[in-house]
Amino acid sequence: MRVCILGSGLTALTLAKALVNQNIFVDLVSSNKNNKINNSRTIGISKTNFNYFNENIINIEKISWKLKKIEIYIHKNKNEKILNFENSNNQLFSIIKNYQLYEILNKKLYKNKYFKKIISKKKLIKQEKYNLIVNTDYNNAFTKKYFSKKIEKIYNSSAYTTLINHEKIPNQIAVQIFTKIGPLAFLPLSKNKTSIVYSIYNSKNIGRKKIIHLINQHNIKYKIKKIEKIENFELKSLNLRSYYHNNILAFGDLVHRIHPLAGQGFNMTIRDINLFINIIKNKIDLGLPLDSSVNYEFEKNIKHKNYIFSNSIDLVQEFFNFERKFNNNILNKSVKILGKNPFINKLFTKVADKGINF
């Protein structure tokens, strides 16, 4: 059995590692010899997904920083939380630098006899050569040919990312502040380093000085020593209308892309990988071939959940955007009341951890 993965980002490498762990041959086809990874970008992984990653893909304990609590604030009152998520076992989320995860996956894959990386500038590959083709590449010809129909939303916003070096503190509490111009997240990486993600409405190229000023203005607990290079990217959400064509399956950000305010993008992808691998394992156990039926089962079982989950994230974004636009206190007061309800708080925490399961 042989699977082709198109692309060379984190999604492609993670899926490749999950597949070779099942003794499936994987050809990873990329147009780039070396994939450039942004050093300021980080990903948050929920507890359930973190455990799955360690047990079924690769152990990432050494490159992760565990969070025990997430606090939500509104710009009008930095001293009063409107929401507070925490886990009794002291692990709610783990934060990892993108480039460190990329490096550890790359290193392990190159040593694996089931893995092969192919650098190719060709627009299409031979479909009949592979049982399945998984496409994670926006620029591949398959994307334009089979996966162009999607529900897309442009936020007219940009996300600015950087890392701050600061004096040592325990630093196991993430903070999200809904400011007048967009959500700002402080995501701890160690006792003296924290990742920043600031999604700013109606912005394209705000200067470094302005971003630094805004970070300092909303900083509520760090004594900052240095702010590293600031990167930015445009924000949009999308849901693909059809996940597959015959034995070709779209995957990762190609099928769902969401606003970064909840840190759920890569978590959705890990849940997708979990389902995809389980479908493949069941096929192998039953002695059935890996063919388009895998893609059919994958879409049937996950598409509606991904759509509901991604739209719920968009609803949260619009909820606080409404409050920002109309300066309405009723909304954040309502959220505060809901957050104090143990059942609602537990439900929010469970959905953020495990996604939508029904």
Give me 319's structure tokens.
């909820």
Give me 80's structure tokens.
């009063």
Instruction: Round to whole Å and give the CA distance between 48 and 352.
Output: 10
Least confident of 29-43, 94-108, 294-308, 325-339: 325-339
Indicate the pTM of the whole model: 0.90
Helix axis angle, 329-340 to 342-354, nearest 10°: 90
Mean pLDDT, the chain, whole residue set? 86
User: Taking a C-beta distance cutoff of 8 angstroms, is the pair 236, 217 a contact?
Assistant: no
Least confident of 130-139, 258-267, 304-313: 258-267
Tell the residue number behind the tokens 């509901």, with chain if given: 308
pLDDT at 98: 93
Tell the residue number behind the tokens 């790359």, with chain if given: 106
Position 301 pLDDT exceeds 90? yes
Percent of the chain with pLDDT over 90: 59
Instruction: Round to whole Å and give the CA distance between 247 and 294.
Output: 8
Q: Which positions ≥6 away from 300 have C-beta within 8 Å?
A: none
CA distance to 57, 148, 197, 207, 225, per residue, from 143 (Å): 26, 6, 29, 34, 44
What region, left, alpha or beta, does residue 202 occupy, with left being phi > 0 and alpha being psi -120 to 50 degrees?
Answer: left
Question: How much is the average pLDDT of 269-295?
Answer: 96
Least confident of 9-13, 94-98, 178-182, 258-262: 258-262
For β-strands 69-74 and 173-179, DSSP reports them as parallel
Position 352 pLDDT exceeds 70? no
- Residue-wise pLDDT tens digits, 185-208: 999 999 999 999 999 988 767 889
Instruction: Name the phi and psi angles at 39, rounded to 5.
Output: -70, -15
Position 104 pLDDT exceeds 90? yes
CA proximity to 310, closest of 272, 249, 257: 257
Domains (ranges, CATH) in the chain? 2-153+236-354 (3.50.50.60)
CA distance to 39, 63, 115, per residue, from 31 (Å): 21, 28, 17
Q: Is 48 exposed, middle or buried (0-12, 13-18, 19+ CB in 10 A)?
A: middle
User: Taking a C-beta distance cutoff of 8 angstroms, is the pair 45, 165 a contact?
Assistant: no
Least confident of 126-135, 166-175, 308-317: 308-317
DSSP 8-class letter at 31: S
Instruction: Round to whole Å and give the CA distance between 31 and 33.
Output: 7
